Chains A and B, each alone.
Chain A
């Protein structure tokens, strides 16, 4: 009798393990292949997201008021610096407007409808974050109803922070570039060096000890120097051209010494995200 119950327990454990692995494999496959999760999962996520908004409201409000008090302390100094920047920005903005207008006219003449730089920005608030140490994901409050689609790039502040990993009707999950899984941070980017040559490449990972994005396998002779700006190149997929990623921090030989490996300082603080922007491109 004792032996029988032991065997039964062993069978239950093995069956549970097999079912667990099967379920995980299926959900990873769906996540990689399909543009949306199954309908029932979407529905469940929408309902949980709705409840979560009510729960998250006081929690996020509390942390907001705490941070606003701490920010009050160094407001004066910041104000001085910002005033200076604003006057420069006004100049840039006017010039940007003029150029955008000219660009539009020129495109019209060429009968060019959508180019790589065109996108509309959809701003969204962060509801919650995955409580996990390796899955760096946040849930935002815009979904397919607002035009968000899988793999679209997401920005916060001035720079790129990640891509859409899963889309539901009213919320979606964003995988941050700090996430180091197989598909998280492969963005096609380009760097324009001081001498004017353009270097193309793909982001390859995130180095958590220094907080820098890495970019491997660059086989160019162009001299990359510290401070060169890294932007998305718009090649291969839904990412538009010209989203700011960060600046080059260090260039060194790669692990095998044949190519160059770059370390990029991200443009935004990736640990505190409250409002993000999804770059929605027309397809």
Chain B
């Protein structure tokens, strides 16, 4: 069924659109988002991936998507184009897919439990990204200031985005199916 649906092309197009939109949002609203010392980092691409996993679980076995592969490709583009350090998000994004797929086995996904799952996923993305950056001396930020200045605002921004975009993305997904 997946092989015949529009999702086969629609999912990667949406993925790359949101990946590039992350950068555009950071650029256009840099005054509001990167208000020193706190920083809100937009992760729309993670939202698209997580929503893919949630709606996939909602549909049952009829539409299994190669989500981990797309996540790795999106992570590779993120690494090469945005950060210039290859080998961080190319592993982090598939981990997010893996965690989400494990979680939806235990929690029946809907809007509110999706919010909870997305909270965990964003924490994983930011925490692993921070640990990797500390390991290769890209940042000297202390752990406590990471929690207060980056993780907190980023979670707030991305959960707000989840609330706004959950239903539109579900509509797009059902249309593509």
Contacts and interface: CB of A to CB of B under 8 A. Distances in A.
A131 B43 contact: yes
A129 B81 contact: no
Nearest to B145: A208
Contacts of B166: none
B141 to A, nearest CB: 6
B174 interface: no
Interface string B119-132: 00000000001101
Interface stretch (A50-58, A84-92, A225-233, A238-246): A50-58
Nearest to A64: B28
B12 interface: no
A181 B87 contact: no
A260 B27 CA distance: 36
Contacts of A60: 24, 27-28
Interface residues of B, number: 48
A137 interface: yes
Interface of B is mostly: helix
Interface residues of A, number: 53
Interface in A1-57: 16, 19-28, 31, 37, 41, 44-45, 48-49, 51-52, 55-56
Interface string B136-174: 111111000000011000100000000000000000000
Contact of A31 (B36, B37, B84, B135): B84
A192 interface: no
Contacts of B26: 128-131
A55 B20 contact: yes
Nearest to A61: B28
Interface of A: 16, 19-28, 31, 37, 41, 44-45, 48-49, 51-52, 55-56, 59-60, 62-63, 126-139, 165-166, 173, 178, 180-182, 208-209, 211, 271-273
**What 8 A-B pairs are tightest by C-beta distance, nearest first?**
A23-B87, A128-B23, A63-B28, A133-B39, A134-B139, A59-B24, A129-B27, A133-B150
Interface of B: 16-17, 20-31, 34-37, 39, 41-43, 77, 80-88, 90-91, 129-130, 132-133, 135-141, 149-150, 154
Given A130-B83, A135-B133, A209-B37, 20 more contacts: A20-B88, A24-B85, A27-B86, A48-B77, A48-B80, A51-B20, A56-B23, A59-B27, A60-B24, A127-B23, A131-B41, A131-B82, A132-B129, A133-B150, A134-B138, A135-B82, A135-B138, A165-B84, A173-B84, A271-B34
